[in-house]
Amino acid sequence: MRIPLLILQLLACLLIQAQEAKPIVSKGFIPPFAGENQIIGTYCELRPNHFHGGLDIRTGGVIGRPVIAIGDGYIARINISNAGYGKALYINHPNGYTSVYAHLHEFPKEIQWFIEKSQYNLQNYEVELYPDADVLQVKQGQLIAYSGNSGASQGPHLHFEIRETASEAPVNPLLCGINMPDHIAPSILNFYLYGKDSLVKLHNGHYPSISLPMYSTHTVKKGKKKKKVNVVIERHSIAYGTYALGANLKDYATSMGDNNGVNYITIYKDGTLFYDCRIERFMFSQIRMHNNYVDFRRHKESGIRMHKLFIDDGSTLDFWKHSPTNGWFTINDSTPHQFRIVVKDVYGNSSEKTITIVGHPSGRKVSDYISHYRQTKLCRAAKDNLHELGTDLSVSLPAHTLYHDYVLNYSKNTNNTYSIGSVLVPLDKKMILIYKLSPLQLLNGNKYLVRCNDGRNYFGELKSINHYHVPVRDFGTFQLLLDTIKPTIKPLTINRNRYFSFDVGDNLAGVKDFDFYINGVWVLLNYDSKSGIISGFIPNPLETGKHTVRLIVRDNRLNEREYIRTIEIP
């Protein structure tokens, strides 16, 4: 029996209705700012090498907006760091969830004292504190911090997360009773078609793909004027084979200028649910899986982070519900197949596009040239791989560093750098470069670092007698460098109204940490890694007489610079 298409489509609509995002925590929490909470980044949004763990909330370009506790609980963790989340605060709530507030600027007195006490005890600006449940209890709506731009923040905003306390898995705050205005549906900007060619994947590191344009542009004459019009492409004729789709997706909240992530994607093939992706939960241990989820190659080539609408090899993500073929379909005759792609945000605003794909022996082919290299090593995704690339360098790729088997290409270049693998191929874990140091190099063993051609530095350590192990994040071109040069210190302000500031820098490895002493006693100063400024007020004015001011700055390769000066208070 053939069921009329209309009924099938109706059933499909009902199915979508049945998939409304279910709230995780329906009531109890309030947003982290009193007043407006404008969201400029959403949960699981595709970011460089990671899924966004929470929401980014606008602070109008300024620091110092009061942040409040979203619910009763206690401050369970405070992290003061120069990297990542910068100054961050974590509150455990009795309902089993933890709220996280990051890139903060400062804290109200009671919390600030608690932090400073620990910084003095540990004699370190960077601290990670886990107060007991009865130490810093908070009530819903209580002021807990002032928003800022600390850590790896690119501009003032609040990064806000809700995590399951036990597993630390971040969940979508918009499913936890934190509401934001959002009335615009996501949109599908363009489609791609992937061919299941395992040989291309083995050698090039990705399945071949082509763009499936939605429109073709024609020039039409209107009187004397020529005008360009877009004509919808209804059918795509492709060669027989096995394929999957990909799409560039974007979501908007209140303005078309927004650039938020899309969390719900379903595909109906000829009216039947075929692919159902719900981006609702991931673990931080899976954060690099972002590079498996997006089209990593197209991202590297064009900057666009595309959703692959199939479950790629090696994924451990848990986004997919009913997707029996993992998103792949086979075209082996001339029957037209309809693909209806529906994208939805967490509030159910949805939009869709339908494309028809038809098989033809002379239709478009999806293929790639296989690059052949002079020197290669076959690496297995499921096994530990150890390969010698030269007399002075071996490479180790532990099991599941790669998402799939890969023919690794490499070369030693004339400037003594090594090019290893393709930058278009993602790594989940770190690849370890193992340099065999000569007796002469060994004299400076731990002062070596590896610079990647993408600008990043990697630091290693001597493992066995002459093996220097350097874990690196990505494939690329690597150079072993020596850093024996001390950091620089330039005093800017010395004791003006108790204020001290220094401009510090380092030639190669970068500043790691510092200590500041007055008359031999450790005193807390702040370090802003973005500006390279160490600064702060000392707790008490200096008494009349002579005082010794001493600053020690260390780089990441144990080179140390000392600045000493005697000042006299009249």
Binding site for Zn ion (CB under 5 A): 56, 159
The CB-of-107 to Zn ion minimum distance in angstroms stands at 19
The CB-of-153 to Zn ion minimum distance in angstroms stands at 8
CB contact at 8 A, 26 and 177: yes
End-to-end CA distance of the chain: 101
Residue nearer to Zn ion on the CB measure, 260 or 385 = 260
The CB-of-263 to Zn ion minimum distance in angstroms stands at 16
Query: How far is it, in rounded angstroms, from Cα 215 to Cα 209?
Result: 18
Residue nearer to Zn ion on the CB measure, 76 or 102 = 102
In terms of Cβ atoms closer than 10 Å to its own Cβ (0-12, 13-18, 19+), residue 385 is: buried
Is the CA virtual torsion 253, 255, 258, 262 positive or negative? Answer: positive
Residue nearer to Zn ion on the CB measure, 147 or 559 = 147
Residue nearer to Zn ion on the CB measure, 56 or 474 = 56
The CB-of-305 to Zn ion minimum distance in angstroms stands at 15
The CB-of-103 to Zn ion minimum distance in angstroms stands at 8
Residue nearer to Zn ion on the CB measure, 44 or 450 = 44
Residue nearer to Zn ion on the CB measure, 65 or 159 = 159
3-state secondary structure 221-273: EECCEEEEEEEECCEEEECCEEEEEEEEEEECCCCCCCCECCCEEEEEECCEE
The CB-of-144 to Zn ion minimum distance in angstroms stands at 18
Residue nearer to Zn ion on the CB measure, 119 or 172 = 172
The CB-of-539 to Zn ion minimum distance in angstroms stands at 33
The CB-of-105 to Zn ion minimum distance in angstroms stands at 15
Our CA dihedral for 141, 146, 152, 155, rounded to 10 degrees, sits at 110
The CB-of-356 to Zn ion minimum distance in angstroms stands at 39
Among candidate residues 154, 49, 158, 163, the one with its CA nearest the CA of residue 95: 163
The CB-of-56 to Zn ion minimum distance in angstroms stands at 4
The CB-of-77 to Zn ion minimum distance in angstroms stands at 18
Residue nearer to Zn ion on the CB measure, 47 or 467 = 47
The CB-of-20 to Zn ion minimum distance in angstroms stands at 26
Query: How far is it, in rounded angstroms, from Cα 105 to Cα 418?
Result: 42
The residues that bridge with 238 in the sheet, in sequence order, are: 359, 364
Pairing of strands 235-238, 350-359: parallel
DSSP 149: -
Residue with the two structure tokens 């401009």: 503
Query: How far is it, in rounded angstroms, from Cα 477 to Cα 459?
Result: 15
Query: How far is it, in rounded angstroms, from Cα 435 to Cα 271?
Result: 57
The CB-of-441 to Zn ion minimum distance in angstroms stands at 41
Residue nearer to Zn ion on the CB measure, 55 or 238 = 55
CB contact at 8 A, 50 and 170: no
CB contact at 8 A, 97 and 161: no
From residue 289, alpha-carbon distances to 121, 320, 327 in Å are 39, 14, 18
Pairing of strands 560-569, 545-555: antiparallel
Residue nearer to Zn ion on the CB measure, 56 or 345 = 56
The amino acid that residue 86 corresponds to is G
For 465-495, letters b (16+ CB in 10 Å) and e give eeebebebbbbbbbebeebeeebbbeeeeeb
Residue nearer to Zn ion on the CB measure, 59 or 559 = 59
Report the residue number whose CB is nearest to Zn ion.
159
Our CA dihedral for 317, 323, 326, 330, rounded to 10 degrees, sits at -170
Residue nearer to Zn ion on the CB measure, 50 or 77 = 50
DSSP 446: G
The CB-of-133 to Zn ion minimum distance in angstroms stands at 27
CB contact at 8 A, 537 and 465: no
The amino acid that residue 561 corresponds to is R
Among candidate residues 289, 7, 31, 4, the one with its CA nearest the CA of residue 140: 31
Residue nearer to Zn ion on the CB measure, 159 or 404 = 159
Residue nearer to Zn ion on the CB measure, 56 or 368 = 56
Torsion-angle region of 326 (φ positive above 0: left; ψ -120 to 50: alpha; else: beta): left
CB contact at 8 A, 127 and 118: yes
